[in-house]
Structure formats: structure tokens, C-alpha cells
Amino acid sequence: MCLLKSRIFFQVKKQEEEVLRREKELEEERQRQLELEKRLRLEQEQRKIEMEKHKKEQLERQEKELREKILRNMKAVEEKRAEKQREELRKKISGKTRLKSAVIMHK
């Protein structure tokens, strides 16, 4: 009888140890999964931040290019306007000179 009790006790103890071991394994696996999820979230956030940074840099480059293009166009328009004014002034001056020359010849 005592031997039977001893065996039963030993079996129960073994089963309890096995249950504890499995619970420990499950907890470790759960912790690994939590760590993995955390790492994946962090990586995702970092990729998102990098993409936003890249997008911002790209927009800044585009803005700079557009500003430069607008300035070039404005300068070109201003140069054309100045050239037109010079041409008009040159024509007026050359036209006045001719008139004076013609008037002097008639005298």
C-alpha cells in the first residue's frame, strides 16, 4: 500500500513538474512573440519615418527647382523687357538724330 502511494505521489509530482515546465515554455514563447511584435512595430515605424523623411526631402528639392525655374523665367522676362526698352530708346534716339539731320540739311 505504501509503495502504491509512493508511486502515485511520484507520478503526480512528475505530472506537476511537467505542467510547470510546459507553462514555463509557453510563457517564454509568449515573451518571444511579444518581443518579435515589438521589434516589428519599431521597424515599421522606422520605415515610415524614413519614407516621410524621403518624401519631405523630395518635396523640398521640387520646391527649390520650381523656385529656381520661376526666378529664371522672371529674369528672362525682365531681360526681354529691358532689351525692348533699350531698342525703343535706341530707335527714338536714332529717329531724333535723323530728324535733326534732315532739318539741318534743309536750312
Is there a domain that residue 78 lies in? yes
Place of cell 539741318: 104
pLDDT in tens, 82-94: 999 999 988 888 8
Which pTM was predicted? 0.52
Domain tally, the chain: 1
Q: DSSP letters of 62-103?
A: HHHHHHHHHHHHHHHHHHHHHHHHHHHHHHHHHHHHHHHHHH
Is there a domain that residue 59 lies in? yes
CA–CA gap between residue 63 and residue 47 (Å, rounded)? 24
CA–CA gap between residue 30 and residue 50 (Å, rounded)? 30
CA–CA gap between residue 44 and residue 64 (Å, rounded)? 30
More confident residue, 103 or 7: 7
pLDDT of residue 6: 85
pLDDT in tens, 20-54: 999 999 999 999 999 999 999 999 999 999 999 99
Which range marks the domain in which residue 76 is found?
18-82
pLDDT of residue 9: 83
